[in-house]
Structure formats: C-alpha cells, structure tokens
Amino acid sequence: MSQYVLSLHSDVSNHDALQQLLRFTQALQAQDHQVACIFLYQQAVLFASQHFSLASDELQPTQLWQSLHDTGIALKLCVTAAEKHGLDTTQCGPFEVAGLAEFAMLATKADKWVQFK
C-alpha cells in the first residue's frame, strides 16, 4: 500500500482535471492506497470559496470535496494563493489552510505526488 499526495492547480472551469482527480482518488482507495491529502494551489484555491456555485445540471464541486473529506482525506489549500485570490481563509468549508512548506513536508513523506493541471 502506497501513500499519495495529490495537488490540483487548475481553474474551477476545468471540470476535466477535477473529474480526473476524483477518478484517480477513487481508484487509489479501491486498491487500498492512502491519499494523505489533496492540496489546492494556484487557481484551484477558488474551489474553496463559499461563494462558488454552479447550475444544478453541472458538476457540483462542493459536494465532491465534502465526499472526499468524509472519506478521511485531508483537504488543504495554499494560504498565499487563497489570499491573492481574495478568499476569506477563515471560511473555507472542509479545507484547511496550509503553506507550501507544509505541503512540501507531506509530499516528501509520501511515496508519490501526483499533480492535476
């Protein structure tokens, strides 16, 4: 069993990257691998916005993130990127704010780090 750290860098309009991350995470869990955390960086921090919503017939990222969190995966977002994008880092739902140093420590302890862009 391997331990993975995943990072998402794409904009909220890039549903393909988000769906790829979801399918990859589900495949890892089905094979009893551990996902230590998912780190949102660059434009992806906007997924943590409490003001983000899409039409009901589109992919619902908020529900997706909550379901991943409910499986025990730590959801983290880059505090610097979040502040640069004007997010209130005290209102981030299931996400915890983290710095790049914390992410680097998690990535070095993991067996693999996979980026989704």
Active site residues: 78
Q: Give the DSSP per-residue string, 53-84.
A: ---TTS--HHHHHHHHHHTT-EEEEEHHHHHH
Strands 95-98 and 74-78: parallel
Distance, C-alpha 24 to centroid of its chain: 12
Can you tell me the distance from the alpha carbon of 46 to that of 96, in angstroms, rounded to the nearest whole number?
Answer: 13
